[in-house]
Amino acid sequence: MSTFVLDSEAEGEPRVEVRLKRSSQAKRLSLRVSQLDGRVTLTLPRHASEDEATSFIREKAAWLRRHVARFEADMLVGQGGEIPFQGQMIRVVQGQGRKITLHEGQLFVPGAPERTGARLAAFIKEAARDRLTEASDRYSAALGRPFARISLRDTRSRWGSCSSQGALMYSWRLVMAPPEVLEYVAAHEVAHLAEMNHSPAFWKVVHDIYGPHRAQRGWLREHGAGLHKYRFTS
């Protein structure tokens, strides 16, 4: 797979790297911006030349820069800022004592301000483990299939996975999303314990143990990438 770089033409414009991918299935040039990490891929039919590809990219330059710019404006979490937590925007403020507490739409984080991000990351990961473990246990019991273990990662390519050995993996950032979205992802991955595919049979299992899920999938497509904008350490 080759790469084309669309350089900045004005101050403040993002530099865009476009991966070129050929496909025997493609009938036309097709651009895709990943909703998880902002990576750009141009799919080309077998017969298309690279000159056609670069001309197409330049034609779409303004559109590409608008979409890619969203992913470059990362926000470093700190005192006075806001982060999403369980689907709500929560203000981060200075706290007292030893523990982080949530009260009336505010997260009180004690300790030195320069440690706020690291302490919040630990708090969010612990909350994610609790919520995802509880949800996975519940859906696993409903399905009648046990899982082997749960792990949390900060993945950009997927929100969760299930191995053939029954190991579940989730992005800890799911606890930043609305609760029903976290629940859907847990049900989705647990359903793979019965169906290691995305066949109609798999989706029936998801529906049986969770219910309708179109809105939750749509939320992830539209808003999921935004959860990756929050940085907890510099």
Helix (DSSP H) and strand (DSSP E) numbers for the chain? 6, 13
Decide: helix, strand or coil at residue 198.
coil
Helices marked H in the chain? 50-59, 61-69, 116-143, 179-191, 200-209, 214-223
Tokens 């529906």 sit at which residue? 207
Residue 42, Cβ density class (10 Å: 0-12 exposed, 13-18 middle, ≥19 buried) = buried
Q: What is the pLDDT of residues 25-81, one digit of tens each?
A: 888 999 887 755 567 889 999 888 888 988 998 898 888 887 776 665 577 888 888
148 φψ region: left (φ > 0), alpha (ψ -120 to 50), beta (else)? alpha
The strand pairing partners of 107, in sequence order, are: 92, 102
Sheet holding 167-171, edge to edge: 149-153, 167-171, 160-162
Could you give all domains of the chain from N- to C-terminal order, each with its CATH number?
2-69 (no CATH), 122-231 (3.30.2010.10)
Tokens 């930043």 sit at which residue? 176
d(CA 159, CA 162): 11
Q: What is the pLDDT of residues 67-104, one digit of tens each?
A: 776 665 577 888 888 999 999 999 999 999 889 999 98
Q: What is the pLDDT of residues 181-195, one digit of tens each?
A: 999 999 999 999 999
- For every residue of 133-169, which 3-state class applies, written as one string? HHHHHHHHHHHCCCCCEEEEECCCCCCEEECCCCEEE
Residues 6+ apart with CB under 8 A from 147: 136, 140, 162, 166, 167, 168, 190, 193
Would you give the DSSP letter of residue 171?
A: E
Q: Which of 39-48, 154-163, 213-222 has the lowest mean pLDDT?
A: 39-48
223 to each of 24, 28, 84, 115, how far by Cα in Å? 32, 28, 11, 28
pTM value is 0.70
CA-wise closest residue to 107 among 130, 75, 84: 84
